[in-house]
């Protein structure tokens, strides 16, 4: 095989290309359960401290961590839904 054939093989369209949304969804579905538990514990700790201190900074930190926790929970639910369905043609979550 010469150099020209190698470049032609590299220029073929790939069927495994994924868009940025698909890659983001797959990364989100890769969240572990232990990560969600740690985020939940951290956000509840921030909430308890923020209520006692009455600090705007602590409330803002709680909001940021809670948003990350919520996104991780959605990813964990997506992971469970993808694992529950088999790769069959008509087996998709409703």
How long a stretch of residues is the chain? 94
Average pLDDT, the chain: 76
All structural domains of the chain with their residue ranges: 32-83
In this prediction, residues 74-89 reach a mean pLDDT of: 72
60-73: pLDDT as tens digits: 898 999 998 998 88
36-60: pLDDT as tens digits: 899 999 999 988 888 888 888 888 8
Give a three-class secondary structure readout of the chain.
CCHHHHHHHHCCCCCCCCCHHHHHHHHHCCCCHHHHHHHHHHHHHHHHHHHHHCCHHHHHHHHHHHHHHHHHHHHHHHHHHHHHCCCCCCCCCC
pLDDT at 5: 53
94 has a pLDDT exceeding 70: no
pLDDT at 86: 55
Helix (H/G/I), strand (E/B), else coil: 76: helix
């Amino acid at each position: 095989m010469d150099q020209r054939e190698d470049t032609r093989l590299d220029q073929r369209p790939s069927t495994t290309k994924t868009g940025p949304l698909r890659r983001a969804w797959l990364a989100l579905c890769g969240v572990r359960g232990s990560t969600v538990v740690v985020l939940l514990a951290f956000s509840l700790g921030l909430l308890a401290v923020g209520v006692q201190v009455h600090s705007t900074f602590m409330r803002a930190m709680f909001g940021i961590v809670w948003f990350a926790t919520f996104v991780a929970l959605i990813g964990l639910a997506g992971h469970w839904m993808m694992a529950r369905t088999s790769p069959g043609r008509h087996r998709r979550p409703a």
